[in-house]
Amino acid sequence: MRAMASEQGMSSWTDLLHSSTKLLEQAAPSAQFPPLQRNLDQLEALSKKLKAKTLRTEAPSQSIAATRLLAREGINAEQLTRDLKSFELKTTFEDVFPAEATSVEEYLQQEDWQKEKRDFLQSLSRISTLPKTNMIDKSSGGIRSGQMVPMASSSQVSSGTSAIGLLPLADKPVVEKKVSVYAEVVRNLNNARQQGLPFKPATAFKVAYESLGTEASGGKSVNMQKMWHLILKLMGEDSMMRQSVSRKMSLVIGARRHLEWGHEKYIMDIIQSHPAQAALGGAVGNLHRVRAFLRIRLRDYGLLDFDAGDARRQPPIDTTWQQIYFCLRTGYYDEARQVALSSRASHQFAPLLAEWINGGGMVPAHTAAAAAEECEKMFRMGDRVGRASYDKKKLLLYAIISGSRRQIDRLLRDIPSLFSTIEDFLWFILSAVQDFPGGTSFNEGLVPYSLDDLQAYLNKFEPSYYTKNGKDPLVYPYILLLSIQLLPAISYLSKEAGEEEYHIDAAHIAIVLADNRVLSEVSGAGQKLGVMDAYAEASSIIRQYGSMYLRLGNLQMALEYYAQAAAAVGGGHVSWTGRGSVDQQRQMNLMLKQLLTEILFRDGGVYLLLGSRGAGEEGELRRFLTDHKARQQFLLEAARQCQDSGLYDKSIEIQKRIGAFSMALDTINKCLSEAICALSRGRLDGESQTAGLIHSGNEILETFKYYPEVSFQEREHVSEQQTILRQLETILSIHKLTRLGQYLDALREVAKIPFLPFDPRAPDTSADVLQNLSPHVQACLPDLLKVAITCLDNVSDTDGSLRAMRSKIATFLANNMRQNWPRDLYEKVAKSL
pLDDT 10s digits, 199-224: 999 999 999 999 988 766 567 889 99
Q: Work out the average pLDDT over 651-656.
A: 86
Q: Work out the average pLDDT over 83-111.
A: 47
Q: What is the pLDDT of residue 79?
A: 64
Q: What is the pLDDT of residue 642?
A: 86
- Counting Cα atoms < 13 Å in the Cβ hemisphere of 30 gives 6
Residues listed for the chain? 833
Q: What is the pLDDT of residue 268?
A: 94
In the predicted model, is pLDDT for residue 439 greater than 90? no
Mean pLDDT of the chain, nearest integer: 79
DSSP 57-71: H---HHHHHHHHHHH
For residue 448, the 8-state DSSP code is B
Q: State how far the Cα of 432 lies from the Cα of 348, in Å rounded to an integer.
A: 19
In the predicted model, is pLDDT for residue 433 greater than 60? yes
Decide which of 70 and 633 is more confident: 633
* Other Cβ atoms within 10 Å of 104 Cβ, number: 19
Kindly indicate the confidence band of residue 821, based on its pLDDT and cuts at 50, 70 and 90.
Answer: confident
Kindly indicate the confidence band of residue 131, based on its pLDDT and cuts at 50, 70 and 90.
Answer: very low
Q: What is the pLDDT of residue 514?
A: 94
Which pairs from 657-661 meet CB under 8 Å and 24+ separation? 657/606, 657/610, 657/613, 657/614, 657/615, 657/616, 658/615, 658/632, 659/615, 659/707, 659/710, 660/636, 661/700, 661/701, 661/703, 661/704, 661/707, 661/710, 661/714, 661/718, 661/721
Kindly indicate the confidence band of residue 351, based on its pLDDT and cuts at 50, 70 and 90.
Answer: very high
Cα separations (Å) of 795 from 740, 759, 763, 800, 828?
14, 16, 23, 12, 16
Q: Strand, helix or coil at 317?
A: strand
Cα separations (Å) of 708 from 459, 616, 689, 718?
66, 18, 30, 14
Q: State how far the Cα of 487 lies from the Cα of 477, in Å rounded to an integer.
A: 10
In the predicted model, is pLDDT for residue 180 greater than 60? yes
In the predicted model, is pLDDT for residue 129 greater than 50? no
Which range has the top average pLDDT, 49-63, 300-314, 603-617? 603-617
Q: Work out the average pLDDT over 136-161.
A: 32
Q: What is the pLDDT of residue 623?
A: 87
The residues that bridge with 317 in the sheet, in sequence order, are 304
Which range has the top average pLDDT, 353-362, 584-593, 681-690? 353-362
Kindly indicate the confidence band of residue 702, based on its pLDDT and cuts at 50, 70 and 90.
Answer: confident
Which residues have CB under 8 Å from 539's CB, separation 6+? Answer: 514, 565, 566, 568, 569, 591
Q: What is the pLDDT of residue 571?
A: 85
Backbone angles phi, psi at 118, to 5 degrees: -65, -40
Q: State how far the Cα of 255 lies from the Cα of 253, in Å rounded to an integer.
A: 5
Torsion of CA 184, 187, 193, 194, to 10 degrees: -150
Q: What is the pLDDT of residue 133?
A: 34
Q: What is the pLDDT of residue 72?
A: 59
For residue 163, the 8-state DSSP code is P
In the predicted model, is pLDDT for residue 108 greater than 80? no
Q: What is the pLDDT of residue 140?
A: 33
* Other Cβ atoms within 10 Å of 238 Cβ, number: 14
Which residues have CB under 8 Å from 604's CB, separation 6+? Answer: 553, 555
Q: What is the pLDDT of residue 386?
A: 44
Q: Which amino acid is at 549?
A: Y
Which residues have CB under 8 Å from 567's CB, separation 6+? Answer: 193, 514, 515, 573, 575, 576, 588
Torsion of CA 52, 54, 57, 59, to 10 degrees: -90
Cα separations (Å) of 502 from 110, 489, 546, 664?
26, 11, 15, 46
Cα separations (Å) of 55 from 50, 59, 79?
9, 7, 21
Q: Work out the average pLDDT over 821-832.
A: 80
In the predicted model, is pLDDT for residue 130 greater than 60? no
Q: State how far the Cα of 730 lies from the Cα of 773, in Å rounded to an integer.
A: 14
Contact yes or no for 335/327 (Cβ under 8 A): yes
Q: Work out the average pLDDT over 244-273.
A: 93
Kindly indicate the confidence band of residue 290, based on its pLDDT and cuts at 50, 70 and 90.
Answer: very high
Q: Which of 87-101, 375-389, 477-491, 625-639 has the lowest mean pLDDT?
A: 87-101
Q: What is the pLDDT of residue 284?
A: 82
DSSP 32-101: SS------HHHHHHHHHHHHHHHHHH---HHHHHHHHHHHHTT--HHHHHHHHHT------S-SSS--S-
Which among 730, 770, 777 is positioned nearest to 751, based on CA atoms? 730
- Counting Cα atoms < 13 Å in the Cβ hemisphere of 716 gives 3
In the predicted model, is pLDDT for residue 162 greater than 70? no
Contact yes or no for 489/505 (Cβ under 8 A): no
Torsion of CA 195, 197, 202, 204, to 10 degrees: -90
* Other Cβ atoms within 10 Å of 805 Cβ, number: 22
Q: Work out the average pLDDT over 344-363.
A: 93
Cα separations (Å) of 689 from 650, 677, 683, 723, 734?
15, 12, 11, 20, 17
Q: Work out the average pLDDT over 313-317.
A: 78
Q: Work out the average pLDDT over 631-657.
A: 86
pLDDT tens, residue by residue, 223-242: 999 999 999 999 999 887 76
Q: State how far the Cα of 476 lies from the Cα of 489, in Å rounded to an integer.
A: 8
Q: Which pTM was predicted?
A: 0.72
* Other Cβ atoms within 10 Å of 365 Cβ, number: 13
Q: Work out the average pLDDT over 770-781.
A: 86
Kindly indicate the confidence band of residue 528, based on its pLDDT and cuts at 50, 70 and 90.
Answer: low
582-600 and 531-552 are packed helices; what angle lies between their axes, rounded to 10 degrees? Answer: 20
Q: State how far the Cα of 677 lies from the Cα of 693, in Å rounded to an integer.
A: 14
Torsion of CA 190, 196, 202, 205, to 10 degrees: -40
Contact yes or no for 306/291 (Cβ under 8 A): yes
Q: Strand, helix or coil at 667?
A: helix
Q: What is the pLDDT of residue 341?
A: 95
Q: Work out the average pLDDT over 597-625.
A: 85
Q: State how far the Cα of 550 lies from the Cα of 602, in Å rounded to an integer.
A: 8
